[in-house]
């Protein structure tokens, strides 16, 4: 009989307590080589919480920089991937292009991209094994139902 895989344990996976001052300083240092902006305190604190494995709900005004919380953790933590559930194909495609312009590898998976992938190769295997090459993956909300 096969053994179930071990339960994922954030306590084992994380190397730092990112919310401590030295963790926040490390986030700033790592981001300084990528980001063309100085992160707001709420962005640093939310990124630290995300890296610690804490769920975060961030409510701020339009234009305050919430989208940065999608890519800041993957810029800090080597090997991390952000999975983003998006309400529209347009938003997924727009954000994918925006993130690629920032130098991040991004992929939108929705009805349109699946149809295009199946046109090239007749199965979802087109994406299988390639997801780890992306830092940010946008999923169509409808695919999650």
Domain that holds residue 69: 16-77
Neighbours of 67 (CB within 10 A): 13
Question: Own/partner pairs for 125-131, CB < 8 Å, 24+ apart?
Answer: 131/81, 131/107
Residue 3 lies in a domain: no
Does 69 share its domain with 120?
no
Phi, then psi, of 61 in degrees rounded to 5: -70, 160
| Per-residue pLDDT tens digits for 77-136 | 877 888 888 888 888 888 888 888 878 888 888 878 777 766 665 544 445 455 556 788
Question: What pTM value is reported for the model?
Answer: 0.73
Domain end among 27, 53, 77: 77
In a domain, 10, yes or no: no
Asked, for residue 6, whether it belongs to a domain, the answer is no
Number of residues in the chain: 145
Q: Is 77 left (phi over 0), alpha (psi -120 to 50) or beta?
A: beta
Q: pLDDT tens digits, residue range 19-34?
A: 999 999 999 998 887 7
One domain for residues 130 and 93: yes
């Amino acid at each position: 009989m096969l053994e179930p895989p071990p339960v994922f344990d954030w306590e084992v996976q994380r190397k730092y307590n990112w919310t401590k001052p030295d963790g926040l300083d490390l986030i700033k240092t790592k981001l300084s080589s990528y980001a063309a902006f100085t992160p707001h305190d709420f962005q640093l604190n939310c990124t630290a919480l995300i890296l610690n494995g804490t769920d975060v709900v961030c409510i701020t005004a339009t234009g305050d920089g919430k989208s940065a919380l999608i890519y800041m953790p993957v810029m800090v933590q080597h090997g991390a991937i952000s999975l983003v559930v998006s309400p529209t194909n347009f938003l997924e495609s727009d954000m994918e292009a925006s993130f690629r312009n920032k130098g991040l590898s991004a992929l939108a998976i929705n009805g349109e991209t699946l149809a295009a992938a199946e046109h090239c190769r007749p199965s979802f295997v087109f994406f299988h094994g390639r997801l780890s090459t992306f830092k940010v993956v946008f999923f169509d909300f409808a695919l999650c139902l």
